Homo-oligomer: A and B are copies of this chain.
Amino acid sequence: MNSHMSEFKGKLIAVEGVDGSGKSTQIQLLRRWLESQRLKVFFSPWNSSELVKNATRRGKKKQLLTPTTFSLIHATDFADRYDRQLAPMLKAGYIVLCDRYIFTAYVRDTVRGCSPEWVRELYSFAVKPDLTFLFKADLEVSLGRILSGRPALKFFEAGMDLNLAPTLEESFKIFQGRLLDKYVELKDEFNFTVIDANKGIEEQQAQVRKCVAGKIDLARFALPR
């Protein structure tokens, strides 16, 4: 059950960060850059599996999920996606890009009250990325980015179910601040490459590309002619 990096010909790159940190924009730009070089690239967003989507949606709506159940639903979803998409594509020699990976669960589930050891063991079936970018922005910046794109914060991204504060904005800052603290705690252990996400999009992307090109022999991943 435990997969080890050694069996995979491919490379795994993950982006992590709080909501509004700009990580999704950055990984999409990275994806386009790699694809434009005709490389074997596979992109996978967080929670894209159909298998338990309905369960999560229903559970969230009814607000009847405890931290353990909430965590397990997401782990199930991830395991399904991991076994059917990520691991096969890594075996097939692709560069796999993940918009959020297991560290999202590490930080979110522990902030919600699960034990860190339990969550780590839960996700122990998944390989660690070859490269993990942590996008670290001030919370005001993240908040501004989200609200520039849509009228209001979402209930769960603000952590409103945790009863931290009466308003969405206040709750967002407390909740996402806690997530950010957890991310920073994991930084050294999992060798995150921290990107200053207060900077401009192009500046960040240049840093990301430089790092990817420096760590991965991209020519090895060229699509067959």
Contact = CB atoms under 8 A, between A and B. Distances in A.
Interface of A: 1-2, 51-52, 54-55, 58-59, 64-69, 72-73, 75-76, 79-80, 82-84, 113-115, 117-118, 121-122, 124-125
A125 B115 CA distance: 10
Given A1-B118, A125-B118, A79 B54 contact: no
A1 B69 contact: no
Contacts of A58: 51
A83 B69 contact: yes
For this chain, the copies found in one complex come to 2
Nearest to A68: B79
Contacts of A84: 64, 66
Query: Which of A58, A59, A69 has most chain B Cβ within 10 Å?
Result: A69
A61 to B, nearest CB: 12
Given A1-B68, A59-B80, A68-B82, 14 more contacts: A1-B114, A1-B115, A51-B58, A52-B73, A52-B76, A54-B54, A69-B76, A69-B79, A69-B83, A75-B76, A76-B76, A117-B121, A118-B121, A122-B122
B76 A115 contact: no
Query: Which of A59, A72, A117 has most chain B Cβ within 10 Å?
Result: A72
Contacts of A1: 67-68, 113-115, 118
A41 B204 CA distance: 61
Contacts of A66: 79-80, 83-84
A51 to B, nearest CB: 6
Nearest to A64: B84
